[in-house]
Amino acid sequence: MAPPLPKEKGLTLPQECQDFVHSLKIRGKYALFLAFVVIAFVFIEKENKIISRVSDKLKQIPQSVADVNSTDPALLLPENASLLSLSELDSTFSQLQSRLRNLSLQLGMEPALQAQWGAAGKPSQQARAGNRRHVLLMATTRTGSSFVGEFFNQQGNVFYLFEPLWHIERTVFFQQGGASAAGSALVYRDVLKQLLLCDLYVLEPFISPAPEDHLTQFLFRRGSSRSLCEEPVCTPSVKKVFEKYHCRNRRCGPLNVTLAAEACRRKDHVALKAVRVRQLESLQPLAEDPRLDLRVIQLVRDPRAVLASRMVAFATKYESWKKWLTEGQGGLSEDEVQRLRGNCESIRLSAELGLRQPAWLRGRYLLVRYEDVARRPLQKAREMYGFAGIPLTPQVEDWIQKNTQASRDSSDVYSTRKNSSEQFEKWRFSMPFKLAQVVQAACGPAMRLFGYKLARDAASLTNRSVSLLEERGIFWVT
Ligand SMILES: *[C@@H]1O[C@H](CO)[C@@H](O)[C@H](O)[C@H]1NC(C)=O
Ligand SMILES: *[C@@H]1O[C@H](CO)[C@@H](O)[C@H](O)[C@H]1NC(C)=O
Ligand SMILES: *[C@@H]1O[C@H](CO)[C@@H](O)[C@H](O)[C@H]1NC(C)=O
Ligand SMILES: *[C@@H]1O[C@H](CO)[C@@H](O)[C@H](O)[C@H]1NC(C)=O
Ligand SMILES: *[C@@H]1O[C@H](CO)[C@@H](O)[C@H](O)[C@H]1NC(C)=O
Ligand SMILES: *[C@@H]1O[C@H](CO)[C@@H](O)[C@H](O)[C@H]1NC(C)=O
């Protein structure tokens, strides 16, 4: 399929460029794309000074953390990902892409491939596709995003994908910090754009083991996408094979990516859930792409609850926290706290940008608190659908009713359905107060923005009549 990699013609690369490319462990189409970038760097170096500007940018990134004028140490992100210089890097990157297009024409590359990577410059001014909406549910882990994602998954005319960026994180190794962290935002963004356009082939180079003939049994959590488990994407299962990511209620043959892409195009809308997009800012090209009608729903949750949940779900990553809790002293390094702070800050910065409603985001951003969804799921679902401009069907309403309320029949002790308005603050009764204090200290600015009140003492943490939630209207400015 893919044309052979263009030869590098024995040119040597600038060191920054090598570092950038080598920090990504990639294969397939993306390798090709990066090879383009590499070649573009080389050509550009020959002709003018952009390369020095690019490499300056690349070198600057780790330092830009220190450039932040604020004395707030919260801005010292542990992953050293620059929150300020991404747009600069990105505009430089766009220039590169434009050059890349010229370059690939010279090299006689397939135009289709260029188009696929957005290297063909500005998308043509074709009209936005009717009423088709492209919903991105932007969250972080343990914020209830799978649950909220179901609101879109359950609607028959929405093509929903669950966490497709998982594959990119698995196969592209981004060294923490510096250019690579910013680079990851660009890769995620480009992949998301293609997926929203129903180009599901874009995932293939990242799926391991590699799909053959566009068939794969390894699409992450296939079973979480109804669209991938219904006719005609669910093909008859011929032989019994182990499928790690199988459909929930039926057996299907391996996923045919072509069939999935066709199904995506047939549906009225597309929705994706992603916990790996850290910066709302990185999505600007998607919002501005005339082929897309993007709606970003940023889902946030009380960081105390998130930490409590992560300590259970990702137990091994939180060994030092547990040690610190049980043994009293030591254990909890400044790095750990810094990471927590960094996560809260990147969520807050994205939300602040969204709420500020810059022109490119106007009408395209909605902030949702998980706690509000848990307490008033139907109302929040209506708001989200209203914001997205998609009519909510009874199908979704039924699903929500069934999955958020405990059975009214109290004799039904085996009901697995949770009463979501009782569940959302369960964490308060098992979280040691000193852990809550650490989160409150690290995540204060984010908590203030989202209306999560600080607990003064252990008693108020566990006192049900003390609310830790400020009531907020819809975080949605029109
Ligand atoms: C830091 O402050 C200087 C002068 O006040 C300003 O020009 C610059 O833009 C600021 N930098 C950042 C990253 O905010
Ligand atoms: C690409 O090529 C076209 C036509 O040859 C030229 O007008 C344009 O300036 C080039 N773009 C870049 C970024 O070099
Ligand atoms: C991030 O920056 C800090 C301070 O400059 C440095 O000590 C640390 O090693 C960097 N971390 C990564 C993962 O690059
Ligand atoms: C996948 O689906 C496409 C579209 O229907 C079909 O042409 C192709 O043969 C299928 N691939 C395989 C391996 O069955
Ligand atoms: C769920 O719990 C809330 C809070 O305790 C209560 O008000 C509500 O009636 C419960 N709903 C059902 C269906 O049990
Ligand atoms: C819980 O909080 C309420 C309201 O602040 C207070 O009246 C009550 O005494 C508290 N209960 C306990 C057990 O501390």
Ligand at minimal distance from the CA of 422 is: 5
Adjacent-strand bridge partners of 298: 138, 367
Say what percent of the chain tops pLDDT 70.
66
Ligand 2 centroid to residue 288 C-alpha, Å: 22
Least confident of 121-130, 159-168, 176-185: 121-130
Q: Checking DSSP bridges between strand 269-274 and strand 158-162, what pairing results, if any?
A: parallel
Q: Is the CB of 422 under 6 A from ligand 5?
A: yes
Q: Is the CB of 338 under 6 A from ligand 6?
A: no
Q: Which is more confidently placed, 343 or 85?
A: 343
Ligand 1 centroid to residue 68 C-alpha, Å: 7
Range of 23-27, 248-252, 460-464 with top mean pLDDT: 460-464
Ligand 2 centroid to residue 451 C-alpha, Å: 50
Q: Judge whether residue 457 has pLDDT over 90.
A: yes
Distance CA 159, CA 256 (A): 15
Q: Residue 211 gets which letter from DSSP?
A: P
Structure tokens at 378: 């139907």
Ligand 4 centroid to residue 339 C-alpha, Å: 45
Ligand 2 centroid to residue 99 C-alpha, Å: 7
Mean pLDDT of the chain: 76
Q: How confident is the model at residue 94 (pLDDT cuts 50, 70, 90)?
A: low
Residue 39's Cβ-count burial label (10 Å; 0-12, 13-18, 19+) is buried
Distance CA 191, CA 189 (A): 5
Q: Judge whether residue 30 has pLDDT over 80.
A: no
Q: What pLDDT score was predicted for residue 384?
A: 97
Q: Are 32 and 5 in contact (CB under 8 A)?
A: yes
User: Residue 306 in 3-state DSSP?
Assistant: helix
Nearest CA to ligand 5 atom 13: 405
Q: Judge whether residue 220 has pLDDT over 50.
A: yes
Residue 286's Cβ-count burial label (10 Å; 0-12, 13-18, 19+) is buried
Pocket probe mutation, ligand 4, options 259, 262, 265, 266, max atoms within 8 Å of Cβ: 259
Q: How confident is the model at residue 120 (pLDDT cuts 50, 70, 90)?
A: very low
Buried b (16+ CB within 10 A) or exposed e, 380-404: bbbbbbebbebebeeebbebbeeeb
Ligand 3 centroid to residue 182 C-alpha, Å: 14
Distance CA 262, CA 227 (A): 11
Ligand at minimal distance from the CA of 71 is: 1
The pTM assigned to this predicted structure is: 0.72
Say what percent of the chain tops pLDDT 90.
50
Return the ligand 1 atom nearest residue 64 CA: 13
First-to-last alpha carbon distance for the chain, in angstroms, is 46
Nearest to 442 by CA among 339, 349, 351, 353: 339
Return the ligand 1 atom nearest residue 68 CA: 13
Return the ligand 6 atom nearest residue 463 CA: 1
Q: Judge whether residue 154 has pLDDT over 90.
A: yes
Adjacent-strand bridge partners of 212: 215
User: Residue 88 in 3-state DSSP?
Assistant: helix
**In this structure, what is the dihedral angle of CA atoms 185, 188, 190, 191, given to the nearest 10 degrees?**
180
Nearest CA to ligand 3 atom 14: 177
User: Residue 159 in 3-state DSSP?
Assistant: strand
Return the ligand 4 atom nearest residue 257 CA: 1
Distance CA 431, CA 460 (A): 12
Q: What pLDDT score was predicted for residue 123?
A: 36
Q: What pLDDT score was predicted for residue 340?
A: 94
Q: Which amino acid is at 248?
A: R
- With residues binned 3-state (H G I as helix, E B as strand, rest as coil), the percentages for the chain, rounded to 5, are 55, 10, 40
265-317, pLDDT tens digit by residue? 999 999 999 999 989 999 999 999 999 999 999 999 999 999 999 998 888 88
CA angle 3, 6, 11 (to 5 degrees): 170
Nearest CA to ligand 4 atom 10: 256
Range of 19-23, 101-105, 393-397 with top mean pLDDT: 393-397
Residue for token digits 């929930």?
Answer: 248
Return the ligand 4 atom nearest residue 232 CA: 5
Pocket probe mutation, ligand 1, options 69, 82, 349, max atoms within 8 Å of Cβ: 69
Ligand at minimal distance from the CA of 215 is: 4
Q: What pLDDT score was predicted for residue 313?
A: 87
Range of 77-81, 280-284, 324-328 with top mean pLDDT: 280-284
Q: Judge whether residue 89 has pLDDT over 80.
A: no
Pocket probe mutation, ligand 2, options 54, 102, 107, max atoms within 8 Å of Cβ: 102
Ligand 4 centroid to residue 207 C-alpha, Å: 18
Q: What pLDDT score was predicted for residue 327?
A: 79
Structure tokens at 145: 């995003």
Q: Are 431 and 304 in contact (CB under 8 A)?
A: yes
331-373, pLDDT tens digit by residue? 678 888 999 999 999 999 999 999 999 999 999 999 999 999 9
Least confident of 52-56, 102-106, 222-226, 451-455: 52-56
Q: What pLDDT score was predicted for residue 230?
A: 95
